[in-house]
Amino acid sequence: MSMSMSKQNVLVFALLMFAMLLPPIQSLKLKAGNWGKTFQKKNQEKETNLQFYFHDTLSGKNPSAVKIAEPLDKTKSYATQFGNIFMADDPLTETYDPKSKLVGRAQGIYALSCQQEIGLLMSLSYSFVDGPYNGSTFTLVGKNSAINPVREMSIVGGTGLFRMARGYAIAKTHWLDITTGDAIVGYNVTLIH
Ligand SMILES: *[C@@H]1O[C@H](CO)[C@@H](O)[C@H](O)[C@H]1NC(C)=O
Ligand SMILES: *[C@@H]1O[C@H](CO)[C@@H](O)[C@H](O)[C@H]1NC(C)=O
């Protein structure tokens, strides 16, 4: 009898050790259409994955981004547009189609910050209007090597559901008109909050 008890104890102990080695169970907390999901591992922070498209339009009568400053001294010009600054209020949609569902807006400044390449300093707030993310924002700051097909930028904070967020955005150019600069960019965002 006492022999079988101790065998049982060994078995329970072994099972406990095994359970501790398993990854914590991740549960789905929130979902927005096909563009947003929030998970939480047991006793850990939440993770949100967002996929959306950013539409930056410089051309036409109603551009979503406008130049607000440029170098004062026109004799010093850079092929990379170094020194130009733009203000943007760009729609974010669920698919690459500009007429697809509006999920938010990217608002703020991007500035041509590189002498040797076309590179932007991004300083933008991404505000969402759809589903459980309605009213929440995150702040993206960092270098955007806009000519690279894929680039990564840092997310340094957030509000609402994304309060205390940190994370990264992988941005991939979906479409670019080199003459006007108009672009549609796919974003894959990972946030921990
Ligand atoms: C988002 O929130 C605003 C303000 O609370 C509300 O007026 C609007 O209807 C909401 N939109 C959606 C899509 O839930
Ligand atoms: C996000 O990443 C997934 C997996 O690599 C990819 O299938 C999807 O097209 C990406 N979404 C966007 C908006 O770029």
CATH number at residue 144: 2.40.480.10
Taking the centre of ligand 2 as the mean of its atom positions, its distance from the CA of residue 28, in whole angstroms, is: 19
Tell me which ligand sits closest to the C-alpha of residue 189. 2
pLDDT digits (tens, 9 = 90+) for 101-126: 999 999 999 999 999 999 999 999 99
46-75: average pLDDT? 96
Taking the centre of ligand 2 as the mean of its atom positions, its distance from the CA of residue 188, in whole angstroms, is: 6
The answer to whether position 158 is within a domain reads yes
> What's the full length of the chain, in residues?
193
The answer to whether position 176 is within a domain reads yes
pTM of the shown model: 0.85
Ligand 2 site: residues with CB under 6 angstroms?
51, 53, 172, 186-188
The answer to whether position 88 is within a domain reads yes
Tell me which ligand sits closest to the C-alpha of residue 134. 1
The answer to whether position 36 is within a domain reads no
The answer to whether position 57 is within a domain reads yes
Confidence bin at 145 (pLDDT 50/70/90): very high
What number does the ligand 2 atom closest to the CA of 174 have?
14
Exposure class string for 65-91: b at 16+ Cβ within 10 A, else e: beeeeeeeeeeeeeebbbbbbbebebb
Question: Domain count of the chain?
Answer: 1
Question: What percent of the chain has pLDDT above 90?
Answer: 79
Domain that holds residue 166: 47-192
The answer to whether position 149 is within a domain reads yes
The answer to whether position 90 is within a domain reads yes
The answer to whether position 146 is within a domain reads yes
7 SS3 class: helix
Q: List phi, psi (to 5°) of 64.
A: -95, -5
